[in-house]
A and B are shown apart, each in its own frame.
Chain A
Amino acid sequence: MAADTGRLTGTPPAVRVRDLYRDFGPGRTVLRGLDLDVAPGEFVALIGRSGTGKSTLLRALAGLDRDVAGHGEVTVPDSVSVVFQDSRLLPWKRILPNVVFGSRAPDAVVRGERALAEVGLAGRERAWPHELSGGEQQRASLARSLVRQPELLLADEPFGALDALTRIRMHALLRRLCETHRPAVLLVTHDVDEAIVLADRVILLDDGVVHTDVRVELPHRSPADPAFAELRAYLLDRLGVHDEDVPAGRRAAA
């Protein structure tokens, strides 16, 4: 039930995937004829249990799966940035050179400084990566992806290794950045709450295809909102997590 959001709004989609197969060997077909459209500027969260093909799809879109068997049609914009779970800053480069690494723009340095300021790291241009905290490193890696002015931002559990408080701050930052720069975003996450807080649309993969595709239309993206809890319960149910699996405390909070 993939929604053709791009076609509905009349503009061509930023991402178009048709009948995508990815195969890691006998009995290990991860994607089985997946279809997906992402409109320009749309924020899509990709959830699903482990091994359902979230990361495989993301790597296919990033062009990082050249050794993997498979076929299908994948169209992505020219400018794609990837944010990994680890910040992947080169330890032998200071922060600013890391942020502008690979950028060929003549004003790369100015843009790098601006991007660092945007993620709240102004003044840390000359720091070494190991001198930053985990959250700061991930913000620097966000700045690196912004410098390239991506039309598509691919993020593979970018906050997975961060503590809960840093994560909340990063959510706000990412939303703000996406509202400013309007890239199409595909965010892989394990966290249903994170998906609802951030995304315009939540897609649940199961068995290598899109299993559920819902728009998030909440006035307040707060877990206190009953509509939030409802959507959360719905998605969890779709993921195969049922009410009796949720501890009583969490249930009351939801």
Chain B
Amino acid sequence: MTAAVDTRVVRRRLGPGRRIRLAFWVGPVLLLAVWALGSAFGVISPAILTAPWDVLTAFRDQWVEHDLLGNVLASLARAGLGLAFGALAGTVLAVVSGLSRWGESLIDGPIQIKRSVPTLALIPLFIAWFGIGQEMKVVTIALISMIPIYVNTHNGLRGIDGRYAELAETLAIGRGEFVRHVVLPGALPGFLLGLRFAVTSSLLGLVVVEQYNATSGVGHMMTLAEQYGQTDVLVVGLVIYGVFGFLADATVRLTERKVLTWRRTLDG
């Protein structure tokens, strides 16, 4: 008897279909192609949007003459620091508020109120409190990125099946172990979703705070370019912000795929 090896791959008919190679890059590359072709054929005039190659020239000029790398690193440090504080605060608050009724009544209300006040509107107040230096910038970014982390982690935490808590009780699990083995892993998908939003928010905050008295950073570079009417440099700044966002999101998504291997979703 010859055994035929069945090599067919079973796919869900209603699933999104097979994985596309380099799927993540298809959209951005297409966008770049449209921009380049539009500029080459004069559809997009340089007054509206500088051509990609002119942006490259401006990029090289900034890199060599105006310490672009230093500006990029300064911006990254700001956004990263703010995001780190925001993620930590958001997670801790979500866990406290998700695990105790008292915590929830103390924390959830203020956060929901804070959520409806645009953080950018708070900047004048923060300037009064923290001055116009680095602290104000980091605090603003932290507050902006804390909210999506809190909301999604809290949501993920509340969505954990109560039956697991029951199981933990029959296994005589302590509070700390329960948080470590049940609550945090259960809330992880929510946290990572929140992190994706937070990364984008932190860049949004970055763009705004760097308009205030920055002496370094991508925003500083763009403010100068605005004053001197250098559209090409503005586009360099925009592209850098875009690349930041894109890479940050890609990093979180990759982490998500690595960390959440236990999940079986339409994605798998």
Contact indicator A101/B169 (Cβ below 8 Å): no
Whether A102 touches B166, Cβ cut-off 8 Å, given contacts A91-B263, A92-B185, is: no
Whether A102 touches B177, Cβ cut-off 8 Å, given contacts A90-B164, A90-B182, is: yes
Contact indicator B170/A62 (Cβ below 8 Å): yes
> Which of A63, A84, A90, A128 touches B185 (beta carbons < 8 Å)?
A90
B237 at the A interface (CB under 8 A) = no
Distance to closest chain B CB from A218 (angstroms): 32
Interface residues of A in 125-163 (CB under 8 A from B): 128-130, 148
Contact indicator B262/A63 (Cβ below 8 Å): no
> Which among B164, B169, B172, B182 has the greatest number of chain A C-beta atoms within 10 A?
B172
Residue of B nearest to A78 (CB): B172
Contact indicator B167/A88 (Cβ below 8 Å): yes
Contact indicator A84/B163 (Cβ below 8 Å): yes
5 CB contacts below 8 A, A to B, read A64-B169, A81-B170, A82-B167, A93-B185, A128-B262
> Which among B163, B170, B264 has the greatest number of chain A C-beta atoms within 10 A?
B170
Residue of A nearest to B169 (CB): A64
Whether A92 touches B188, Cβ cut-off 8 Å, given contacts A64-B169, A102-B168, A102-B172, is: yes
B side interface size, CB within 8 A: 20
Distance to closest chain A CB from B246 (angstroms): 29
Tell me the dominant secondary structure on chain A's binding face. loop
Interface residues of A in 81-109 (CB under 8 A from B): 81-82, 84, 86, 88, 90-93, 101-102
Q: What is the bound-complex CA distance between A12 and B119, given in angstroms?
A: 67
Contact indicator A90/B181 (Cβ below 8 Å): yes
Contacts of B263 in A (CB 8 A): 91
B261 at the A interface (CB under 8 A) = yes
Name 15 extra pairs, CB < 8 A, besides A64-B170, A102-B171. Answer: A62-B170, A64-B169, A84-B163, A84-B166, A88-B164, A91-B262, A92-B186, A93-B181, A93-B185, A93-B262, A101-B173, A101-B181, A102-B168, A102-B177, A128-B262
Contacts of A235 in B (CB 8 A): none
Residue of B nearest to A144 (CB): B171
> Which of A62, A84, A86, A102 touches B173 (beta carbons < 8 Å)?
A102
Question: B164-197 vs A: 1/0 string, CB under 8 Å?
Answer: 1011111111000100011001101000000000
> Which of B163, B168, B170, B182 touches A80 (beta carbons < 8 Å)?
B170
> Which of A84, A91, A128, A129 touches B167 (beta carbons < 8 Å)?
A84
Contact indicator A128/B261 (Cβ below 8 Å): yes
Contacts of B164 in A (CB 8 A): 88, 90
Interface residues of B in 102-125 (CB under 8 A from A): none
Distance to closest chain A CB from B10 (angstroms): 15
Residue of A nearest to B263 (CB): A91
Q: What is the bound-complex CA distance between A170 and B264, given in angstroms?
A: 26
Contact indicator B166/A64 (Cβ below 8 Å): yes
Q: What is the bound-complex CA distance between A7 and B210, given in angstroms?
A: 81
Question: B150-170 vs A: 1/0 string, CB under 8 Å?
Answer: 000000000000011011111
Which 6 interchain pairs have the tightest Cβ spacing?
A: A102-B171, A92-B185, A82-B170, A88-B167, A92-B262, A130-B264
Interface residues of B in 222-236 (CB under 8 A from A): none
Contact indicator A63/B169 (Cβ below 8 Å): yes
Question: B36-77 vs A: 1/0 string, CB under 8 Å?
Answer: 000000000000000000000000000000000000000000
Contacts of A93 in B (CB 8 A): 181, 185, 262
Residue of A nearest to B188 (CB): A92
Whether A88 touches B163, Cβ cut-off 8 Å, given contacts A101-B171, A102-B168, is: yes
Q: What is the bound-complex CA distance between A88 and B165, given in angstroms?
A: 10
Q: What is the bound-complex CA distance between A64 and B186, given in angstroms?
A: 22
Contacts of A82 in B (CB 8 A): 167, 170
Q: What is the bound-complex CA distance between A92 and B172, given in angstroms?
A: 19
Q: What is the bound-complex CA distance between A63 and B166, given in angstroms?
A: 10
Contacts of A130 in B (CB 8 A): 262, 264
Contacts of A101 in B (CB 8 A): 171, 173, 181
Contacts of A128 in B (CB 8 A): 261-262
Interface residues of B in 129-169 (CB under 8 A from A): 163-164, 166-169
Q: What is the bound-complex CA distance between A90 and B173, given in angstroms?
A: 14
Question: A19-36 vs B: 1/0 string, CB under 8 Å?
Answer: 000000000000000000
Contacts of B170 in A (CB 8 A): 62-64, 80-82
Q: What is the bound-complex CA distance between A81 and B167, given in angstroms?
A: 10
Distance to closest chain A CB from B235 (angstroms): 44
Contacts of B177 in A (CB 8 A): 102
Q: What is the bound-complex CA distance between A130 and B260, given in angstroms?
A: 13
Q: What is the bound-complex CA distance between A101 and B181, given in angstroms?
A: 9
Question: B227-268 vs A: 1/0 string, CB under 8 Å?
Answer: 000000000000000000000000000000000011110000
Question: A109-131 vs B: 1/0 string, CB under 8 Å?
Answer: 00000000000000000001110
